[in-house]
Each structure stands twice: as structure tokens, then as C-alpha cells.
Amino acid sequence: MTATTRLKLNLGPQHPSTHGVLRLLLELEGEKILSCEPDIGYLHRGMEKMAEKLTYIQYLPLVDRLDYLAGFFYSELLCRIVETACQAELPDKVRVIRVMMLELNRIASHLLWVGAFLMDLGATSPYFYVFREREMILRYFEKVTGQRMMYNYFIFGGVRKDIEFLENVEEIISILPQKIDDYEKIITDNPIFIRRTVNKGILEPETAFNFAITGVNLRASGVDYDYRHQDSLYKGFDFKAIVLDGKDAWSRYKARILEMRESINIVKQALDYLKKSGPLEQRLIPPINLKLPEGEYFAEIEAPRGLACCYVRSEGDDKPYRLKWRTGSYYSVNLLRNILKGEYLNDAIAIAGSLDIILPEVDK
Amino acid sequence: MNYLYFLYIEFLSRHNIPKLFGDITFYFIPFCIIAAALLVVVLVLVLAERKLLGFFTQRKGPNRVGVWGILQTVADAFKLLCKENITPKKADRFLFNLAPILAFVPMFAALGVIPYSAEFTFINTQTNVILYLVLAAFPVISIFLAGWASNNKYSLFGAMRSISQVLSYELPIAFVVLSIAVLSSSMNLTGITLAQFSRWGVAGWFVFPCILGFVIMFISILAELNRCPFDLPEAESELICGYNTEYSGMRFAIFYLTEYSMMFANAMFLAILFLGGYLSPFGKYLFNNSFLIYFEQAFWLMLKAGIIIFVMIWIRAVLPRLASFDLLKFSWAVLLPLSILNFFIMVLYKFIAGGGVCA
């Protein structure tokens, strides 16, 4: 094979299936991918540098923008950093409220992924079905937080206001399982879907470890690692990690479906607690002139797209000296280099889609 | 057609115009009729598809322009007409401009082969089934030209996929059409239609002896039309828009027009081969012995084609896209053997039911 039979294809940054502005430089032979070079940074907003110029409370509304589909997780991280630094204990009710919002957010994020993934595979209808269900969750978020995507609801030491409209959550978790059953009916056992996803994009656990893959992608490769089990926030909640050992795109799809069901379970437990609980009592950390003691702080959480971490180094100032985010998608993009090699172009789209990459999180 | 021809010649002779003039100009009438009807049909089809997809996904579909969104596609077509025609700098100008024309013309001719009613076939030759097959396969050449001349990698991929797809699905179609020719002892579309006549209407349709062929043909036609789940040449998530990525304005509109009129023509072709064409499903016509019978026959054909198109849109709403290798494998390893099998079954059926080889 000579070099002249190869074709360099520039996939993106404006391409319908890169879910944002990812650019992939592909080297093709026919439709077979010889190499893939992801090029990121088209959505870089300087999230980390900005933190150094802003006080903690000024920075808090911005972190929701890190991942516009799962904003709660990032504000939870920043809150947690400040709370550990100030050694604040969260009351149980605040904790449960946060867990409920996080899990609803996880469901919304996974729902959108199901739609987008099927869109990548060429099925247009599921996209609209998932938006219908996601809309219920977003409406609820809007009622409680006033925002549909950039919530800014968690605040240092608690939440901005007491949880309300619990009957809506009840409605959501009663409707959602049937709807997920419906998706499974038209998607999971569809022969074309199976042909396009089973044994496609095999991710061996060793490769996953080498590329620092976490979250659903790792668990669908048969590794039982769910940070929520170690997380003090989730103390008292009964749930299990979804571990599948298919290692392929289909398992990653199925794992997300199962994880949505598990999240519904967690929301149910949170709801039971909240319905019995009294009014919200919390001691907020005064945000004005808030200075973190000198030192390094670290917090991590199981976000929908893998482990999300926040590292802050403070010099005792009201602004962080350095702030660093670790996001799951960043490592998934890096994985494309490895996982797309030797695949065919239309499988490649399915495989890249199955990793659940979202670009604002990658470019930060 | 003869009927119209006589009407026209008679009209001319009453005004002392020579018959030769009539012979030459006669073909402008069907041309104008098809051209006008086609535009309307395509506009309606696009609207219907968008509306139906909307209903399948619990949306309203277009509902702003005109009552019930009825003028939406007219507005879209007008917008495309007004847009600038861009030819990429590195494109092959001549081929780039030729491709839409080459797509449109054979499709237009293919519509002339269809018997819309007992008297209304513009090109009524002895073997117009073959003529139709040739004309229907022709747009793929223009797709390849478009993809090649655009000098765009995505277009080229779309064109490549389109060629391989159409080539491999053309064969099952040919075998199914052959089995229909055996069943009806005719290679003429009107002949095939009439061979399906029976007093009980539906009972005579070829879809009953040849249900396997019908399914094969339906799938192959979906592939030929590049429709979901065989829309690989235009796979949006991979190839952006496939072969017509670089086209804009009216040239893009012509491709669009071709696509939808091909869909309409192929649906009618399928209806003629298997669902009795213009024959009434009840065996009897509502307007016997009147001029209106031609309109009724055309209505039945349109209705059958409409149902087939509805199923195509329905499939699009449900299924994901096939992988490119499965697509070829499905044709060569499943459809082609089955269509050959179907052919032999039909020959056997004809031999037994018709009582001999020469029946």
C-alpha cells in the first residue's frame, strides 16, 4: 500500500455528528481509518484561568457552563471544595436535596445522550422522544432553580432555597420507567442497532486504565468502579453500580439505560426522605470576602461522563491561586486516537458517539 | 393515450392544421401535464413527509406558512430558487453543472412510462418495463458525477457508496421484475396491470402469489432511493450531506426534486407490479362508461403509491441506518438468492396454474 491510496479527511469542527466543535483528523484507506488525531480547543473559554481572577462566589455561576448538560455536578464540586476548606458540615436535608438534583441531572444527561447516539446511527425519532422526557426534568429544574441549564442552585454550605414542587418529581419518576421501557422496545433489540453496536469499539479494561477512562465507559468494560459508593454525599442511599462486561458500544448504551433506572431509584429514596423532612435549616458560608486557608484542596464526584475532579490551590487569598478541572470527556476524546484505529468510517461515528463526549467539558 | 391522440388530431383537423404538426406537437401535451403534476406532487410529498415525521415524533410539523403549513414547501422551493448558485473553485465546472440535469431528465422520462390509467401512458412500447428500469437506474450516474465533480471528500464518499449500493440492489430488482414478467406474460406495464385483473379486484394482484418478491422489491427500492435505513450515501452523521454537499440553490433543489419524484415513480412502479396498478381494488369502477373512469383509475394508482410512500416514511421514522458492509452483504447474500428463488417459484407457479410453458 502506497501513501497515495490514503486519504486525509478532516472531520469537523463543523460537522453534524461531533456534538459541538471537535475536529478529528482522520487518515483513511477506503473507508477504513488508519489513524485519528483529535484536535480540541475550539470551545476554549479559559475556565481555569478565569478562576484565578474571580472570587469563589463570582466563579460559582460560571462552573455550570463547564458541562451544559450536567451543570449541577460542577457546582457541587466547587461547593465541596469551599465546604471542605471551611470545614462546614452539611445538614442531612441539604445533602439529600443535592443528591436528588444530581441524579435528576444525570438522568437528563443520559436521556439526551440516548437521543444523540441514535441520531448518530441515523435514527431520528428517539431524539424527539428523549427530549419530551428530558423536558419534564428541565421544567422541574426551572421551577426550583429558575434556570433550565445553568442552575447556580448549590451554594457554599447549602442550597439557594428550599426544595419545592415535590409532586413534580413524583410524576417524573412514575412516568420515566415506562418511557425507558419504550425506548428499549424500539432501540435495544432492533437488529440494525445490534449489528451496528455489538462488538464495535471494544474497550479493554487495560486500555481504559491507560487512557484514564472513568464512569459509564469504564463500567461497561467490566470494571466495578463507581465513585458514588465512596462519596460521603451518597451516604445512606442504597444503589448498585451498573457493571456490564460487553466492552462494546452496545454495553455502553445498555449501561446508561440501566444507570438511568438506578438513578430513578436514588431519586425515589431522596424523595421519600424529603417528603417527611421539615423546613430547610442550613448554615451558609458567608460568600463575601471568603478566603480559603492556604493549602491544596481536592474534590471528586461521579459525573455522567466520568469522574469529575476539582483541584484548588489557595494562597490564603479570596481567589484561588490555581484551579484545575478534571473532566471525563477530555479523556474520552483522547481515547478516540486508540479506539478508532482500524474501524470503518460509519462505525467510527457510532463508537465516538457511544463514548458520550461533550465539548465544553473537554475544552473548558 | 390513443384516445387523447385522436382527440388532439380531431381538434387539429377541425381547424385545418396538418396531421404532421399534430404528430410532432402531441408529445408536448404529456410533457406539460407531467411537469405540472410533478411539481405539485413533489411539493405535497415533501410536506407530507415532514408532517408525518412530525406526527411520528409527537411534533406538529410545519404549521406556520399557510393553513396547516400547506405552503411551507412552496416557500422553501421559492427560497431555493432565489439563492445563489455556488460552484466551488476547484470543482469541475462542466460536470458539476451537468449532474443535476442528468439526474432530472431520465427521471422525467421514467414518469412517462407509467400507465396512469387505461389510456394514459405516454411511452407505451412493448417492453417498457425494461425502459423504466434503465431510466430509474440512471440518476445514480449523475450522483456519481456530482460527487466526483464537487471535488469534496465527503461528496466522493457519498458517490462511492451510492454506486455500490445501487449496483448491488439493481440485481434483485431485475430478478423480481423478471418473475412478474413471467407471471403476466408481458413486458409492458399496461399488460402487467391488466394481467392482474380479476372480478374480485384484490384477488388478482400479484402480491399474493409473489409476496416474497414484493418484500424484496420494496427493500431494494428503499435502497435505490437512498432512503432510510439505506441512506448511507447521504448519511448526515457521517458524510454531512453526501454527494450534494457542495450544491446550493436551484441545483440542490433539482436533486431534491429528483429524489422525491424518484420516490413517487418507484412507488407507482411497485404498485403497478404488485398491487394492480390503476385497477380498482373492488373489481368494479364507480364511474363506469364515462370519461371519469380515467380519473378514477389514476386515483387508485395514486392511492396505492401513497400507501407505499407512507410506509417508506414510517420506516424512516423508526429504523437506524445500516452499516455499509451489512448493506452490501444483505443484498448479495440475502436478497439476491431469495429473488432468484422467487423467480423459480414463480415460474413453477405459472407452469402449474397456467397449465403449460407457453400459457
DSSP letter string, A156-189: TTEESS----HHHHHHHHHHHHHHHHHHHHHTTT
Positions of chain B with pLDDT lower than 70, given as ranges: 1-4, 235-238, 240-241, 354-359
B57 found inside a domain: no
B6 found inside a domain: no
Running DSSP on this structure, what letter comes out for residue A228?
G
What is the structure's pLDDT at A356? 85
CA distance B8 to A264: 74
Set of chain B residues whose Cβ sits within 8 Å of the Cβ of A7: 153
Determine whether the interchain pair A190/B322 forms a contact, defined as Cβ–Cβ distance below 8 Å.
Answer: no
B59 found inside a domain: no
Q: Which residue in B has a C-alpha nearest to residue A7's C-alpha?
A: B153
Question: Contact, A349 vs A31, CB < 8 A?
Answer: no
CATH number of the domain within which A77 lies = 1.10.645.10
A3 found inside a domain: no
Residue from A13, A11, A14 nearest A25 by CA: A11
Taking CA atoms, A284 is separated from A278, A295, A311, B135, B148, in Å, by 18, 22, 22, 76, 65
B109 found inside a domain: yes
Burial class (CB within 10 angstroms; exposed 0-12, middle 13-18, buried 19+) of A102: buried
For A242, left (φ over 0), alpha (ψ -120 to 50), or beta? beta
Asked whether this complex has an ipTM greater than 0.85, the answer is no
B345 found inside a domain: yes
Cell of A191: 437488529
**Chain A / chain B CB contacts < 8 angstroms:** 80
Determine whether the interchain pair B236/A17 forms a contact, defined as Cβ–Cβ distance below 8 Å.
Answer: yes
Q: In this complex, which of B229, B318, B326 lies closest to A186 when CB atoms are compared?
A: B318
Is this prediction's pTM over 0.80? yes
B294 found inside a domain: yes
What is the structure's pLDDT at A87? 84
- Give A299's strand partners: A310
Full domain range(s) for residue B263: 83-354
Query: For residue B262, which phi and psi values (nearest 5 degrees)?
Result: -65, -40
- Give A10's strand partners: A25
Question: Contact, A85 vs A280, CB < 8 A?
Answer: no
- Cα distance from A39 to chain B (closest Cα, Å)? 18
Helix (H) or strand (E) holding A73: helix A71-85
A203 found inside a domain: yes
- Cα distance from A330 to chain B (closest Cα, Å)? 22
The amino acid sitting at A311 is: Y
A37 found inside a domain: no
Determine whether the interchain pair B57/A186 forms a contact, defined as Cβ–Cβ distance below 8 Å.
Answer: no
pLDDT over 60 at A275, yes or no: yes
- The arrangement of strands across the sheet holding A23-29 comes to A6-11, A23-29, A32-39
Q: How much is the mean pLDDT over chain A? A: 86
Query: For residue A268, which phi and psi values (nearest 5 degrees)?
Result: -60, -45
CA distance B149 to B94: 8
Determine whether the interchain pair A192/B319 forms a contact, defined as Cβ–Cβ distance below 8 Å.
Answer: yes
Set of chain B residues whose Cβ sits within 8 Å of the Cβ of A357: none
HSE, CB side, 13 Å, CA atoms: give it for residue A91.
15
Running DSSP on this structure, what letter comes out for residue B64?
S
Determine whether the interchain pair A345/B238 forms a contact, defined as Cβ–Cβ distance below 8 Å.
Answer: yes
- DSSP structure string for A240-291: --------SHHHHHHHHHHHHHHHHHHHHHHHHHHHH--S----PPP-TT--
What is the structure's pLDDT at A2? 55
Where would I find the H helices in chain B?
2-14, 19-25, 28-56, 72-82, 93-113, 128-137, 139-149, 153-184, 189-195, 211-224, 236-239, 249-274, 292-318, 324-329, 336-354
B301 found inside a domain: yes
Centroid of chain to Cα B93: 29
A291 found inside a domain: no
- Cα distance from A120 to chain B (closest Cα, Å)? 5
B101 found inside a domain: yes
CA distance A127 to A113: 9
How many domains is chain A built from?
A: 1
CA distance A80 to A312: 11
Full domain range(s) for residue A211: 43-285+297-303+311-323
Set of chain B residues whose Cβ sits within 8 Å of the Cβ of A353: 237
Burial class (CB within 10 angstroms; exposed 0-12, middle 13-18, buried 19+) of B110: buried
Residues of chain A whose beta carbon is less than 8 angstroms from a beta carbon of chain B are 7, 9, 15-17, 31, 118-125, 127-129, 132, 186, 190, 192-193, 195-196, 344-347, 349, 353
Say what the alpha-carbon torsion angle A199, A200, A201, A204 is, to the nearest 10 degrees: 0
Cell of A81: 471544595
A171 found inside a domain: yes
How many domains is chain B built from?
A: 1
Residue from A25, A130, A97 nearest A277 by CA: A97
